[in-house]
Chains A and B, each alone.
Chain A
């Protein structure tokens, strides 16, 4: 049951300021529409040709052209009965439980994304710098090679086999000899 419900006498006398379409509430030519946002509590406006897509019921002031001042609009929104300006309630109509579910999912998704950024980007970086300030163990092999702390080629050129390996090889040879 979507619709545009007039809220005061002025609204009942005028017509055609807005029309309901499939994509929302279309503001007619030479008309401006204003409403109050709950959070943050600022006024918002739409001009002729704009389409309003409220997620819930929305009380709006419709003005031909821009002939009303801000304080007038504010007063009209607060006291619809005593106002000269036409005030309507836009009812999106579809009682959509999925819309509520989707909003909750969006909020939870934002929290999950923030957690992902914290654990995925902030914490590894922080831990890296914590480790850097305590001990140099975060230096990788490639970094140490670039800093000339270790050198693969030097190690390879030395090419000396340690005592354990020498003993192992000689033991193997002895075992081979023994088995023959």
Chain B
């Protein structure tokens, strides 16, 4: 590997980590918002009516499951983002750039693979229920309309989805090519020793 290859590899590693971290952070934001939404709904349900003891427990437990799901998801995505960054940085700093590249491929592929079921479920749900128009919800939901539609346009549908898919494919392929090439170079090194 000469320095041009090292430079290329550094760029690609940085890009790969940014994809993994950016994607995880989006999941973190989505799930932490959903956690708060579930929690607020729980509070409203608990305080808006005079529940009997057993009904209050029931309401609490139903929403607690949802809150726990989104809370776990947000924590896992945050840890995933931090962990990927730290591990790649550690590989790069203490082992070798090639191991860091290998781990970057792993990070990108596993980020895509692990979030695939969630994306699929999300897409399926939207396909089933249709995309709700925030304007059709009466009352104070109108406040949430601008950010909601912005999120939907940018995060969920086209721009960043296509960007993520193209970027992860490009990064993984380019890093694989570079890694394979860097293996070939060892022959040259052995010849020089002889």
Give chain A's interface residues, CB within 8 Å of chain B.
Answer: 22-24, 51, 53, 55, 92-94, 96, 98-99, 101-103, 105-106, 108-117, 119-121, 123-124, 126-128, 130-131, 134-135, 137-141, 144, 149-150, 152, 155-156, 158-162, 165
Contact = CB atoms under 8 A, between A and B. Distances in A.
A120 B170 contact: no
Contacts of B56: 152, 155
Given A103-B11, A108-B15, A160 B53 contact: yes
Contacts, number: 169
B3 A22 contact: yes
16 contacts: A51-B3, A53-B3, A53-B7, A98-B174, A102-B11, A105-B12, A115-B22, A116-B26, A119-B30, A120-B28, A120-B29, A121-B29, A140-B36, A140-B40, A141-B39, A141-B60
B143 A116 contact: no
B171 interface: yes
A20 to B, nearest CB: 10
A120 B18 CA distance: 13
A67 to B, nearest CB: 29
A55 B7 contact: yes
A46 B51 CA distance: 76
Contacts of A152: 56, 60
Interface string B16-40: 1111011111111110110010011
Contacts of B147: 123, 126-127
B155 interface: yes
Given A105-B174, A120-B29, A137-B44, A96 B52 contact: no
B102 to A, nearest CB: 16
Contacts of B163: 108, 111-112
Given A101-B174, A102-B11, 7 more contacts: A53-B6, A98-B177, A106-B11, A128-B36, A130-B143, A139-B43, A165-B52
Interface of B: 2-9, 11-12, 14-19, 21-30, 32-33, 36, 39-40, 42-44, 46-47, 51-57, 60, 140, 143-144, 147, 151, 154-155, 160, 163-164, 166-167, 170-171, 174, 177-178
Contacts of B18: 106, 109-110, 112-113
A88 B32 CA distance: 56
B147 to A, nearest CB: 6
Q: Is the interface of A mostly helix, strand, loop or mixed?
A: helix
B40 A139 contact: yes
Nearest to B52: A162
A121 B26 CA distance: 8
A134 B143 contact: yes
B155 A119 contact: yes
Given A98-B177, A108-B167, A141-B46, A155 B51 contact: yes
A116 B22 contact: yes
Contacts of B7: 53, 55, 99, 102
A159 B53 contact: yes
Contacts of B57: 156
Contacts of B28: 120-121
Contact of B14 (A99, A101, A109): A109
